[in-house]
Amino acid sequence: MALMITDDCINCAVCEPECPNLAIYEGVDIYEIDPHLCTECVGHFDEPQCQMVCPVDCIPVNPEHQESPQQLQEKYNYLTGKSS
């Protein structure tokens, strides 16, 4: 499951530098998460770092991009060039 940023985002930008996959970027109105790059920090950390630092709790799981922990690990392996 990739994460997403909701309209509750206050554009504080604390999430962007925390993303190890560079999946978070400044969108037109709010920050956004590229679901093809988001691994929920699987492979990097035990918990999604963006969620940990978000002061308004606006980063839930994206219901349109459901992925299992195994799929997230495979995505991490692909993005980092590591074998599974």
Residue 3 lies in a domain: no
Q: Are the CB atoms for 74 and 84 separated by under 8 Å?
A: yes
What is the structure's pLDDT at 84?
53
Instruction: Quote the number of domains for the chain.
Output: 1
Rounded distance, CA 83 to CA 57, Å? 33
Parent domain of 24: 16-80
State in Å, rounded, how far the first CA of the chain is from the last one: 19
Residue 22 lies in a domain: yes
Q: What is the pTM of this model?
A: 0.92
What is the structure's pLDDT at 1?
78
Residue 5 lies in a domain: no
Q: Are the CB atoms for 50 and 79 separated by under 8 Å?
A: no
Supply the CATH number for residue 38's domain. 3.30.70.20
CA distances (Å), origin 59, targets 33, 38, 53: 9, 12, 10
The pLDDT profile of the chain, 84 residues, written as one tens digit per residue, is 799 999 999 999 999 999 999 999 999 999 999 999 999 999 999 999 999 999 999 999 999 999 999 999 999 999 999 875
Residue 75 lies in a domain: yes
